[in-house]
Structure 1
Amino acid sequence: MKASIVGAPFPMTFDVTENLHRMVELLNQCEAHDVVVFPEASLSGYSDDITFLAGIDQQQVSDGLDTLHVVARERNLHVFVGACREDERGWRNQAYYLAPTGERGVYNKANLATHERGHLIPGDRLPIFHLKLPEGTLRVAVQLCRELRFPGQWRVLSEAGADLFVYMTHLIEDERHRPVWRSHLISRAAENQRWVAAVNVAHPVQRCPSMLIDPSGLVIYETVSEHACRMRAEVDTNAVSNWYLSQRRTDLTRRGNRAE
């Protein structure tokens, strides 16, 4: 099965209205059945300085999600968008799947960044979203920012049937480490033999590129830019495989075994 993936980095701000406007502009340039991926917390804005949470207008974020969902339905798009939101338990770093049929799914970031701990509530599920496309169903898993460092989560989702990983991040400054994050992305694709669509915020200095990587680890597209753009490419789920996963020595890695 083939699907069209659009990575959509843009310069994020703390103005929800401005972020929404930029995302709607990008969505209006997409084609029917596109799977569109925005950066982490793309609607609410984001910062390593956790005090930014106090400035988020929850009603604006809620209304913004509704607006984006209307566009997704009108243009027949599958949209992944990020936002920091507060519920009855506390703040969460969330990724939303907005389906053209009206359904809405959510992933709560499970492995929080150091500066998020104690301020945000971690998620306790690793869901897979089933996207209904003309040629069939595309199974998509979401991981956020720091979760690139935890390959176990990616392996579990691969074994559960994910075809594509949507990796949404907000990694700016300290561009010296960009080769490290780039290498991690390629490894997650190749070791699991899954597609990876990574989208970072557009910014003059980035620690992680925006990329699409095929299941063999080959980079299909890559960009580091301070300008908004749309990176379109086709993924073919026939390239997804369990060849390497099926060869794992589980007799050595299962619980209870001890290294000598």
Structure 2
Amino acid sequence: MRIALGQLASGTDTAANLRAIDAFAGRAAAAGAALVAFPEYASYEKKKIDATFPAAAQPLDGEVGAELSRIAARHRVALVAGVVESSPDPARAYNTLAAFGADGGLLAAYRKIHLFDAQGFQESAFVAPAPSTDPVTFDVGGLRFGLLTCYDLRFPEQAQALSDAGSQVLLACSSWVPGELKTNQWRTLLAARAIENSLYVAGVSQAPPVSVGNSLLAGPMGEVVAELGLDPGVLTADVSPDSMAEVRRHFPVHRQRRLR
């Protein structure tokens, strides 16, 4: 199956962000992708999370969700994008990944579990953590995709739970905050989660200056299958269940694990 990663430079103009998503989804579909993933906070982003995020929040069936659904259906491609979702607390939103099928139907919604209270940031001041820590997956074209967001990459047990739930591709939709060695950590953690679980990990990030760019697809041996640089753009690459099965035949860690 061919998948695509749409590396954006989202800002506070939600309408402009949606137009960029539409254009990139069209490019992904034209390249033969069955699914295109966009970064965390694809619909609304700025360098520091503040009170404007819950102010911009909408329910998943609001205008932003409806437009993402239309984009997926228009291009006949499954689509995953980070949105700011309303929560029961008006002062805090959910940081949500919404997945839509090629028919526009909602396939899954993942609310970020591990909030970025690190590196001088306090995401939890304006964002509520997911009420559930259950793994969130969905199926497209016979493959199972697992969802995680940015800081979640630093918690290997979450990727393992998604793998145990049958995921063959993890979509790590991110706005990876820049800093010392952060690009190196981004690439290393994507590869590590792939190697640990013998699956594909697709890391799609916002472009600089908000984030580090370098969206990439890591294969089940940790190899970089394809990678973007710093500019916004669309990456397409193929994922192979047969390759994943071959790696698991050589390294049967799923059967050998003793710690539960």
Task: Give, in whole Å, the separation in 2 of the partners of 1:121 and 1:216.
Answer: 35
Task: Give, in whole Å, the separation in 2 of the partners of 1:79 and 1:238.
Answer: 24
Among residues 88, 105, 127, which one is paired with 1:103 in the alignment? Answer: 105
Query: In the TM superposition, what are the counterparts of 1:82-161 in structure 2 within 5 Å?
Result: 82-89=82-89, 90-104=92-106, 105-114=108-117, 115-123=122-130, 124=132, 125-131=134-140, 133=141, 137-161=142-166
Matched, 1:72 2:72: yes
Give the structure with higher Rg (CA). 1
**Amino acid of the residue matched to residue 115 of structure 2?**
L
Distance verdict in 2 for CA 1:209–1:56, change over 3 Å: same
Distance verdict in 2 for CA 1:14–1:66, change over 3 Å: same
Which position in structure 1 is the counterpart of 2:236?
Answer: 232
Distance verdict in 2 for CA 1:204–1:175, change over 3 Å: farther
Distance verdict in 2 for CA 1:87–1:59, change over 3 Å: closer
Task: Give, in whole Å, the separation in 1 of the partners of 2:104 and 2:212.
Answer: 35
Task: Give, in whole Å, the separation in 2 of the partners of 1:207 and 1:232.
Answer: 19
**Amino acid of the residue matched to residue 75 of structure 1?**
H
Secondary structure of 2:206's aligned partner: coil
Shift of 1:151: 0.2
When the two chains are superposed, the root-mean-square deviation of aligned CA atoms in Å is 2.2
Task: Give, in whole Å, the separation in 2 of the partners of 1:213 and 1:223.
Answer: 12
**Amino acid of the residue matched to residue 66 of structure 1?**
A
Shift of 1:245: 2.2
Query: More displaced, 167-176 or 194-203?
Result: 167-176
Does structure 2 retain, via aligned residues, the 8 Å contact 1:210–1:224? yes
Secondary structure of 2:146's aligned partner: strand
Shift of 1:33: 5.1
Distance verdict in 2 for CA 1:60–1:161, change over 3 Å: closer
Query: In the TM superposition, what are the counterparts of 1:191-202 in structure 2 within 5 Å?
Result: 191-202=196-207
Q: Please list the CA deviations of residues 147-167 of structure 1 after superposition, one character each: whole Å capped at 9, or x if unmatched.
A: 000000111111111010000
Secondary structure of 1:117's aligned partner: helix
Does structure 2 retain, via aligned residues, the 8 Å contact 1:40–1:144? yes
Distance verdict in 2 for CA 1:181–1:117, change over 3 Å: same
Does structure 2 retain, via aligned residues, the 8 Å contact 1:43–1:61? no
Shift of 1:60: 11
Secondary structure of 1:28's aligned partner: helix
**Amino acid of the residue matched to residue 121 of structure 1?**
A
Equivalent pairs, count: 244
Distance verdict in 2 for CA 1:148–1:160, change over 3 Å: same
Secondary structure of 1:50's aligned partner: coil
Which position in structure 2 is the counterpart of 1:258?
Answer: none
Shift of 1:79: 0.2
**Amino acid of the residue matched to residue 243 of structure 2?**
A
Does structure 2 retain, via aligned residues, the 8 Å contact 1:9–1:210? yes
Task: Give, in whole Å, the separation in 1 of the partners of 2:211 and 2:55.
Answer: 24
Of all paired residues, the percent bearing the same amino acid is 23
Which position in structure 2 is the counterpart of 1:52?
Answer: 52
Q: Please list the CA deviations of residues 153-186 of structure 1 after superposition, one character each: whole Å capped at 9, or x if unmatched.
A: 1111111110100001102431532112211110
Task: Give, in whole Å, the separation in 1 of the partners of 2:46 and 2:11.
Answer: 8
Distance verdict in 2 for CA 1:236–1:66, change over 3 Å: same
Secondary structure of 1:8's aligned partner: strand
Q: TM-score, normalised by structure 2?
A: 0.86
Task: Give, in whole Å, the separation in 2 of the partners of 1:181 and 1:238.
Answer: 26
Which position in structure 2 is the counterpart of 1:257?
Answer: none
Task: Give, in whole Å, the separation in 2 of the partners of 1:176 and 1:61.
Answer: 39
Task: Give, in whole Å, the separation in 1 of the partners of 2:2 and 2:82.
Answer: 20
Which position in structure 2 is the counterpart of 1:203?
Answer: 208
Shift of 1:206: 4.2
Task: Give, in whole Å, the separation in 1 of the partners of 2:168 and 2:182.
Answer: 28
Unaligned segments of structure 2, at least 5 residues: none
